[in-house]
Structure 1
Amino acid sequence: MSENSSKEEHQSEDINDSPAYLQHVNELISDLGKVRADGRVNINLESKVAKAIAESINYQQELRKSTVDYSQRSQQTSSFDLKLNIVIQIVGSRGDVQPFVALGNALQQHGHRVRIATHGVFADFIHSSGLEFFPIGGNPADLMAYMVKNPGLLPQMQTLREGEICKKKAMIGEMLDGCWRSCIEHDPYTQQPFVADAIIANPPSFAHVHCAQALGIPVHLMFTMPWSSTKSFPHPLSSLTADPENKGLDCWVSYSVVEWLTWQGLGDVVNKWRATLDLEPVPTTEGPSLHETLKVPFTYCWSPALVPKPKDWPAHIDVCGFFFRDQPQYDPSPELQEFLLLGTPPIYVGFGSIVVDNPQKLINTVIDAVRASGARAVISKGWSNMDGAQDENIFYIGDCPHEWLFQHVAAVVHHGGAGTTACGLINGRPTTIVPFFGDQPFWGDMVANAGAGPRPIPHASLSTENLSAAIQFCLTPEAASAAQGIAVKMQAESGVTEAVKSFHRNLPLDRMCCEILGDQVAVWNYKKGKQSLKLSKAVVQTLIENSRIKTESLQCHDINPIIIENHRWDPLTGVISAGISTGTRMLTTSTGMLIAPYKELTRTKSSPSSEPSRPKAGRSTSTPSSADDLPSMGSRSATIQPDGDRPTSPRSPFSTAGDMAGASLNSFGKFTTGYFKGVLVDIPTAAADGFRHASQLYGDKPKEYGTVSDWRSGAKVGSKNFVGGMKEGITGLVKHPWKGFQEDGREGAWRGLAKGAIGLATKAPSAGIGLWAYPSQGIVKSIEAKFRTKTRKAIVVSRLMDGYAQTIDMEMSDDMKAAIVLEFDQLMGVD
C-alpha cells in the first residue's frame, strides 16, 4: 500500500472516530453542570468530576518543571539585530487575523521575514499588507457557523445527529497539517524557500507547540482572551456556580476544567497528527494546560486600561494592549457621506463574521429596536448578509473599515470580537455587545464593568425591548464619559510595539546566535572531534560551497528543546494508567490482525486489473538527503508522471493471499512490540516514577534526575535514581525523626519516624525498579529515533534550500564569503 493511500485511510479513520469525551457527555453535563445558551459550561465546582479534574491537573502543574525557564529571561530589546524567519499561525475570522497583520508589519521593520499562515480566503488581504501568506486550509465561514450552533465546549444534540463533529474533526486535521507545512514549505506564490526560526500563534491554531517541538524552535502565543490560569476572573468559556467566598480558587480551577474538556475533544486528533511528525503522543494527563506546564511565553492583546494584568501571572505572560493597524485609506460613497452628515450621529450595528441560521429574524429585531430607541443607524450586512427595507434613518453598508467608520458614529452595537471592541473603545464610543460564542461574553462583561456599555445581551435572548434599552443606555452622557476615559488611556498605549518587545524578550538568545555571523540565527550544529559550532543556514551554505564541511557532518540545532514527559502521581495510578494504555494498544493491534487482511482483500478487489497503470499525481514521497539533491527540489511539490499505456496483469489469488498474510503479520508485529514494550518498559517506568513522586503526597519534594531521551541518558537517570533513592530512603530514617524532635519534641520524632519509614518504602522500590526501567526506556527511545527520521530529513532539506536561497538574496560578495571561511578555519583551529 502506498504512503499516500495509507495516509488517506488514516485520515478517514480519524474523521469517523467520535471524540473521546462524547462517550461521557451525559455524565459530564449532569455532574459538572449545564451548558448555557451562550455555550459556556456552567461549572459546579462541588461536583466529583470537577474536583477530580482540579486536583489532578493542579497537582501535575506543581509537580512538573519546564525544561526552559522563560521567567528568567530579561534581555534588553531596545535594539534587536537577529534576523528571523517567523511564521504566524492564526485560526479564526478576519477580526482574529487583522491584529496579527499589524504585528507582522512591525516585525518586518526589525528585519524579520514574516509569513502569515491562515485560511485561504484572507490571501489577498495579507498580500496587500506586504506580508507573505501560506494557506493552512479550513473555512472560517463554516467554522463561524459551527461555533454559533455550538458556542461552547460540548456540541448540541442536533449537531451530533447531523454529523458535523466528523466535519469539524476533518477541518482541524487539515489545519494541523497546514500549520506544519507553513513551517517548512516554499512560498506557494513565489516558490521562495522558507523554514521557520520561530512561531507566533493564537491558541486555537492548536499546532503551535507541536510544530515548535518538531523543529526545536521558540514558540510564543498571543491571544485576545484569557487562556492562562488566574484567580482574578474565570475562564471565558466557563460560568461558575460555587461559593462566592472561594471565588479566587474557583476562577483558577475553571481554567483546568475547560482545558480538560477541550483536550477530551481534540486530543485524539492532535496525537494522530503528531505521529505523522515522528512525535510521541501527548499523555492524557499532560495535554490539558500544556502551554502552562511548558511555560510558553504568552502575550495578551488587550488594553491593561480595560483589563489589567492579574498579579498571579508570571513574568513570561504580558498584557501589551490592543493591536491596531495603520489607518487605512478609505473613500466613502457619496450616499454614506450624505447619511452621516444629515441628522444626529447614527449608531453602528454589525455582527461581522458571525453566520446565523436565520438572518432575517436578526435584522428584523435590530430594525425594530433602532426605531423604538429613536436613533439613526448604520447597519453592516456582514457574513450573514443582513439586509432590510430602505428607511431614511437606516443605512446598510458592505465592507467598510471600522477605523474610519467609528469616528463618525455615536455608539456601536456588535458581537463582541476583541478587535471590534477595541476599535470602538479607542474611538471613545459606548458599546453594546451581543455575544454569540468564545470570548465575546467576556468582553461584554469587561465593557459593562467599566461603565462604557450595558450588560451584554446573549444573541439567544436578543429582543426588540432589551436591544432598544441597551441603545438608549449607550446614548447617555454617563456611558459616553466612561468610554472617553478608556479611550484616553488606550491612546497612550502601543500594543504592537510592546508585543514585539515581549516576543524579543522571551527568545533564548544565548542559544540562537550564529557563531560566525551574529545577526543570523543558528540552526545547525557542526561537530568535528571536540570542536563544535552553532551555524546559520547562509554560513553553512557558504562553507559547503567552499568545501569546508559536508552535509553529513551537520546536525539540526534545537534552539528551544521541548520535552513533554508523562509524570506520575503515585505508583498505583501510574501503573494502572500505563496498564490501561498498554491494554488499549494491544486491543487495537489485535483487532488489526483481523481487520487488516479484510481491508487488503477489499482494496485488491476494488483495484482495476486490466487498465493502464497511471500513478496519481501528488507530492513526491522521496526525500533528498544531501545538498546534491537540491536541484530536483526547485518547486514545492513534485509530480509523478504516468508510465504510459502499459497494461497491468491481473493479480493472482496467491499474490492477494500473500498481501493479506503480510497485513496480518504487520499487525501481529505491532501487537507483540506493544506487549513487550508495555510489560518490560512502560509499566516498570510508571512504577518507578510513581514510587519516586509518592513523597510529594506527604509534603516531601521528590528529586528530579533528568530526562530520558536516549540510551545514555536512560543509564544516567537509572544510576542516579538508584544511588539517590537508596541514600535518601536510608538517611531519612534518621533525618526525619531528628528534625521532628527538634520542632515538636517526642511527638514530632514519632511523626518523623513514620515519614522516614514511608520514604524508605517508596524510594527503595523506585531505586530498584528504575535501575531496569530507565535504561530500558532509553534503549527503546534510541531504537525509535532510528526509525523516526522522515521529519528530520524534511527539515534538513528545507534548511539547506533556504540557506542556498539566502546566500543569493544577501548577494554575498567574494570578500564576505572569504571572511566567513577564514573565521570558520580560525574557530576550528585550521592552519
Structure 2
Amino acid sequence: MMSKRDTIRKVEEDTLAPNHLPSYETAIYEGLHQHRDSVRNDGRVDVKLDSRLAKTLSQFIPDYTDIPQLAQAAAAQGPPPEYVEAAERYAESKTFPVKLNIVIQVVGSRGDVQPFIALGNELQTYGHRVRLATHDVFEDFVHKSNLEFYPIGGDPSELMAYMVKNPGLIPNLKSLKGGDIQKKRKMVKEMLEGCWRSCIEPDPQTGKPFVADAIIANPPSFAHVHCAQALGVPLHLMFTMPWSSTRAFPHPLANLKFGDDGVVDRMTANFVSYSIVEWLTWQGLGDVINDWRRTIDLEEVPFSEGPVLAESQKIPFTYCWSPALVPKPIDWPAYIDVCGFFFRQPPQYTPSPELANFLKNGPTPIYIGFGSIVIDNPDEMTTILIEAVRSAGARAIISKGWSNLGGVESDDVLFIGDCPHEWIFANVAAVFHHGGAGTTACGLRYGRPTTIVPFFGDQPFWGDMVALAGAGPKPIPHKQLNVQNLADAIRFCLTPEAAAAAREVAARMETENGVATAAKSFHANLPLEILQCDILPDQPAVWQFRRGKVHIKLSKQAAGLLLNHLKIGQKSMSLHETRTYIIENRRWDPVTGIVSSAMSAGMGMARGATDIVVKPIQVYHQQSKMKSADIDDVMRSSTSSNLQTPSQLLSLAPAHPDTFERRKSPGRGCGSTTGAAMKASASGLGTFFKAYGKSYLDVPMAITEGLRATPKLYGDKVEDRAPITDWKSGAMVGGKNFVIGIGEGFADLFYQPYKGGRDGGAAGAALGAGKGVLNMVTKTASGALGIFAYPAQGVYQSIRTAVKSKTRHSIAAARQAEGEYLACNTSINIETVLQRFDETCRVNETGKIWERNFF
C-alpha cells in the first residue's frame, strides 16, 4: 500500500484534471460535520459514501485494476531486503548487533497489556533492556514478569466504563452532562505526560537511569510518534485492530452506507473509511495533543496532518493477530506485518477445590466472562446469563470480572474470580466473552468455539472474523443480548460442526509464533547503519561528536568514559537522531493554501485577543478561591477551639503557621493578584502578536508551496523538496526552487506545446500551449516567492530551535546521566575504548576505511 503522502502525490500526478480540483480542507471540514451526526448506538460511524468528504478522499486513491501491480507497489515500500534477511539470522540465534533501551507504551485493559509482556520478555532474550510503561494498577503484573515498569497514570477501569457508555467516537448526551468528556481529556493529558517521562526518567524502583533508544506502542497511547520525534528515535506500532488504510475490509468502527450514484466502489469505500474515522478521532483529542506537544518544544501538528501521521511518516506497524484468521491485505506495504497472536507462557495455576469439583461433577461446562468491561447493570446481566444457560441445558463457569457479576446461587453455574484464561479455556467446551483480541486468540488457540458479545472498539470485528471462520455464531452486541439469543448461541457452540471449525483454526495457529515474528519485524525495521556507536558497536549511538574533520557517533557509555578521561568535551557533542520525523503542512494549491493559513493565523490572533481579557478574570477567580479556602481553614480551626473574637483568631497564628504564612506571602496578596492578572493578560497579548507575526511566514510559504504544486493537478510531475530544518536548508531549498522554477517555467512555453502535439496532434498542441503558459506563471512565481519564503522559514526554524531548547537539554542531561552511570558500572576494558577512539579520530582525519571489530 502506498502511504497517504505517496498516494496523494501519485494520484495528483496521474489522474486529476483542473476541473476536478478538490477543495481538500473545505471538504474535510464540511464532511466532518456531516459524519458527526452519523454515530450509531453501537458506536460505529455511518460512513456516507455519497458525502462530499468521501467523494473527495476517494479521488486521492490510486485506481489499481491490476492486482499484481498493486501488490508490487506495496512491496516496494519497506525495509531493505538485507535488513529482513539479517533479522531472520538474528532471530535464529536470538542476538542483535545493538542492545537497546526499549520503552513499550500501552494504554488499555489487562488484556491489552498482557501481550506486550510476552513481547517484552522475548526482546529481553536478545539482550535489550525493556521498560513497560502503562497504568499504575498493572505495576505488580509487570514486575512479576521480570520487566521494568513505569507508571503513566490513567485509570483503565474508568476508561473501560467510558468506552462502554460511549463505544464510538462521539460521546452521548449523558456523558456530556456528567462531565465524562473533561475527565477523559484530563486523563489523556496525564497519560501523555506520563508516556514522555517514561522515555527519559530513571527506574522508579531502583533509580537506575534510563533513556529510550526505541519506542514500541499501541496506537491508543497517543504519545508515541510525538515522543519519538522529540527524541529522534525509531518507533514501531503494534496493535490488535486494523489501523492502516486498506481496500480489503473497512475500518472496524465504520458502517459503510453506499449512495445511489455508485461513484465509490466497495474497495475504495473500505480505504476511505479509515481516513474518515481518523479525522473524527483527531477532532476530539487533537487540541489536547497539541497543547502537550508545546510542553516538549514541538510545534503543533496541522489539522490536515494529525490524523494521518502514522501513514505519512511510514511508521512500521505489526498487527498481532493470526494470518490464519485475517490474512495480510496485499495493499499493505512491507513495513506493515501480520505476525500472529501474542501468547505468553501459560502460568502455573492450581484451581480451588470448589472449581476442581465443579469441573469433575457433570458435563464439561462453558465459560462466560467479560473481563475488564465495566457493565452498567451487572445484576440484570447476571440474570440473563443464568437463565440462558438453564434454557440451553448447559453448565457454566462465569467470571465475575470488573463488573463483579454474581450474587445468585445455581447448581449449574459457578462464579469465579481471577483465573488464567490459558488454564480455564483448556478445561471448558466453549467460550463466551466480550471479544478482546487476546481473549479471542486464547479461546481459538485451544480450539474452543467462541461467541463474542462486543461492547466497543475492535470487538465486533473479531466477532465477525470468528463467525466467518465458522468457529462461532454472529456476534451479539451487548445491548441486544437476551436470554433467547444467548441460549441459541450456546446451542450452536456445542455442535460438532462448530467444534471442528474451531479445531481447524487452532491447527493453523499452532504453526505461528506471533511474539517471535513481531520481534523479528521490529529488528528488520531498525536503521542499523546509523544506529551503531562507532566506538562500541554493540551499543546505540545517541551523540554526535564533532571536532574539525572528525565526526564520530557515540553511545551513552562511550561518551561517559571519554568525558571521564577528558578525551572529549561536552561542547563538542550534540544529540544524534537515529530517526527523524518531519511534520509539515502540505499545500494542495495556492487558493486553499492561502485560505487555510489565513484562517489559522486569524484563529490564533482571536485566541490571543480573547486571552487578554479572559485569562486575567480566570486568575482573579482562582486567587479568590484560594483565599476563601485559607479563611475557611482558619474558621474551622477557630470553631473547633471555640474561639470567637478577632483577637482570638489572631492568636491562632503560632498554632497554624502554614495557613497564616500563605495569607501573608507575596503570592497571595492583592498586589500579587494584580500582578498575576497582568502577567496573564500579557501572555494573551504575546499569543496575539505571535500569531500575527507568524502569518508573515505562513501565508507566503502557503502561496509558494501551492504554486509549486499546481502542475500536479493536470498530470505534470513535481519533485519533492528537501525538508527545511534550519537557515542553511531553507537557503538551499529557496535557491534550488528559484533556479528550477525560472528555468522550467520558461522552458515549458516551448516544451509543453511540443509534447502535446506529439501525443495529441493539433488539439494536444493547443492544450500543451495552455499548460506551458500556466506552468510559466506558477513555476516562476513560486521560484520568485520562494527566494523569500523558504529562507525565512529556515531562519524561523533556527531561531525556534535556539529558543525552544529546554526539552533538548533535558534529553541531553538524561543521556549524560545514564552514560555516567554506565561508565561507573562497566566491565569493558577502558584502555581499549580510548585506543579505539584515537584510531577512529585518525581514520576520520585521513579518510581511510576503518574496519570495526565487535567486542
Q: Same fold (TM over 0.5)?
A: yes
d(CA) in 1 for partners of 2:146 and 2:574?
A: 34
1:408 is paired with a residue of what secondary structure? coil
d(CA) in 2 for partners of 1:779 and 1:497?
A: 47
CA contact (8 A) 1:217 1:558 kept: yes
Matching residue of 1:301: 320
Matching residue of 1:573: 592
2:385 is paired with a residue of what secondary structure? helix
CA contact (8 A) 1:425 1:486 kept: yes
Matching residue of 2:215: 199
Q: Does 1:681 align with 2:697?
A: yes
Offset at residue 50 of structure 1 (A): 3.3
d(CA) in 1 for partners of 2:800 and 2:608?
A: 18
d(CA) in 2 for partners of 1:221 and 1:464?
A: 40
1:745 is paired with a residue of what secondary structure? helix
2:736 to 720, 732, 754: 720
Question: Compared with structure 1, are the counterparts of its residues 97 and 657 closer, same or farther at alpha carbon in structure 2 (3 Å cutoff)?
Answer: closer
d(CA) in 2 for partners of 1:73 and 1:270?
A: 36
Q: Does 1:667 align with 2:667?
A: no
2:583 to 560, 564, 577: 564
CA contact (8 A) 2:562 2:834 kept: no
Q: Does 1:441 align with 2:445?
A: no
**Could you list the per-position Cα deviations for residues 584-641 of structure 1 after superposition, in whole angstroms to 9, with x for gaps in the alignment?**
11111122222344455556666779x9xxxxxxxxxxxxxxxxxxxxxxxxxxxxxx
d(CA) in 1 for partners of 2:33 and 2:690?
A: 39
Q: Does 1:750 align with 2:766?
A: yes
Which is worse superposed, 230-239 or 813-822? 813-822
Offset at residue 662 of structure 1 (A): 4.9
Offset at residue 823 of structure 1 (A): 4.1
2:787 is paired with a residue of what secondary structure? helix
**Could you list the per-position Cα deviations for residues 392-416 of structure 1 after superposition, in whole angstroms to 9, with x for gaps in the alignment?**
2111111001111111111100000
The one-letter amino acid paired with 2:110 is R
2:547 to 513, 521, 528: 528
CA contact (8 A) 2:61 2:268 kept: no
Matching residue of 2:816: 800
Question: Compared with structure 1, are the counterparts of its residues 127 and 578 closer, same or farther at alpha carbon in structure 2 (3 Å cutoff)?
Answer: same
Q: Does 1:413 align with 2:424?
A: no
**Could you list the per-position Cα deviations for residues 210-253 of structure 1 after superposition, in whole angstroms to 9, with x for gaps in the alignment?**
00000000000000010000011100111111269821111000
In the TM superposition, 1:244-643 aligns within 5 A as 246-599=265-618, 601=620
2:404 is paired with a residue of what secondary structure? coil
The one-letter amino acid paired with 1:442 is F
2:248 is paired with a residue of what secondary structure? coil
The one-letter amino acid paired with 2:212 is A
1:288 is paired with a residue of what secondary structure? helix
d(CA) in 1 for partners of 2:345 and 2:237?
A: 23
**Could you list the per-position Cα deviations for residues 629-667 of structure 1 after superposition, in whole angstroms to 9, with x for gaps in the alignment?**
xxxxxxxxxxxxx9x979646988777656655544443
The TM-score with structure 2 as length reference comes to: 0.86
CA contact (8 A) 2:627 2:668 kept: no
2:744 is paired with a residue of what secondary structure? helix
d(CA) in 2 for partners of 1:49 and 1:412?
A: 41
CA contact (8 A) 1:32 1:44 kept: no
Question: Compared with structure 1, are the counterparts of its residues 725 and 25 closer, same or farther at alpha carbon in structure 2 (3 Å cutoff)?
Answer: closer
Question: Compared with structure 1, are the counterparts of its residues 444 and 648 closer, same or farther at alpha carbon in structure 2 (3 Å cutoff)?
Answer: closer
- Structure 2 unaligned regions, length at least 5: 1-24, 64-69, 91-95, 631-657, 847-855
Matching residue of 2:172: 156
Matching residue of 1:117: 133
Matching residue of 1:48: 52
1:395 is paired with a residue of what secondary structure? strand
Offset at residue 807 of structure 1 (A): 2.5
CA contact (8 A) 2:535 2:837 kept: no
Offset at residue 119 of structure 1 (A): 0.3
RMSD: 2.8
Offset at residue 514 of structure 1 (A): 0.4
Which is worse superposed, 107-116 or 330-339? 330-339
CA contact (8 A) 1:432 1:474 kept: yes
The one-letter amino acid paired with 2:430 is A
Offset at residue 141 of structure 1 (A): 0.2
d(CA) in 2 for partners of 1:684 and 1:368?
A: 70
Q: Does 1:90 align with 2:101?
A: no
Identity %: 53
Offset at residue 194 of structure 1 (A): 0.3
CA contact (8 A) 2:240 2:321 kept: yes
Offset at residue 553 of structure 1 (A): 1.3
Q: Does 1:176 align with 2:192?
A: yes
Offset at residue 533 of structure 1 (A): 0.5
1:534 is paired with a residue of what secondary structure? strand
Offset at residue 820 of structure 1 (A): 4.5
d(CA) in 2 for partners of 1:669 and 1:28?
A: 32
d(CA) in 2 for partners of 1:738 and 1:500?
A: 55
The TM-score with structure 1 as length reference comes to: 0.89
CA contact (8 A) 1:32 1:43 kept: no
Offset at residue 565 of structure 1 (A): 0.8
Matching residue of 2:246: 230
Question: Compared with structure 1, are the counterparts of its residues 314 and 779 closer, same or farther at alpha carbon in structure 2 (3 Å cutoff)?
Answer: same
2:190 is paired with a residue of what secondary structure? helix
d(CA) in 2 for partners of 1:752 and 1:322?
A: 55
The one-letter amino acid paired with 2:173 is M
The one-letter amino acid paired with 1:126 is V
CA contact (8 A) 1:38 1:435 kept: no
Q: Does 1:773 align with 2:756?
A: no
The one-letter amino acid paired with 1:121 is V
Question: Compared with structure 1, are the counterparts of its residues 686 and 663 closer, same or farther at alpha carbon in structure 2 (3 Å cutoff)?
Answer: same
2:307 is paired with a residue of what secondary structure? coil
d(CA) in 2 for partners of 1:351 and 1:432?
A: 12
**Could you list the per-position Cα deviations for residues 361-404 of structure 1 after superposition, in whole angstroms to 9, with x for gaps in the alignment?**
11111111111111111111111111142222111111001111
CA contact (8 A) 1:73 1:506 kept: no
Matching residue of 2:43: 39
d(CA) in 1 for partners of 2:451 and 2:727?
A: 61
The one-letter amino acid paired with 2:48 is N
CA contact (8 A) 2:667 2:673 kept: no
Matching residue of 1:638: none
Question: Compared with structure 1, are the counterparts of its residues 365 and 657 closer, same or farther at alpha carbon in structure 2 (3 Å cutoff)?
Answer: closer
1:289 is paired with a residue of what secondary structure? helix
The one-letter amino acid paired with 1:595 is V
Q: Does 1:214 align with 2:230?
A: yes
Offset at residue 764 of structure 1 (A): 1.9
d(CA) in 2 for partners of 1:333 and 1:774?
A: 71
Matching residue of 2:150: 134
d(CA) in 2 for partners of 1:322 and 1:341?
A: 31
Which is worse superposed, 659-668 or 588-597? 659-668
Offset at residue 723 of structure 1 (A): 1.1
d(CA) in 2 for partners of 1:103 and 1:328?
A: 16
The one-letter amino acid paired with 1:374 is G
The one-letter amino acid paired with 1:365 is I
Matching residue of 1:16: none
Offset at residue 755 of structure 1 (A): 1.7
The one-letter amino acid paired with 1:772 is F
Offset at residue 813 of structure 1 (A): 4.0
Q: Does 1:702 align with 2:705?
A: no
Offset at residue 53 of structure 1 (A): 5.3
CA contact (8 A) 2:107 2:221 kept: yes
Offset at residue 812 of structure 1 (A): 3.3
2:827 is paired with a residue of what secondary structure? coil
Matching residue of 2:646: none
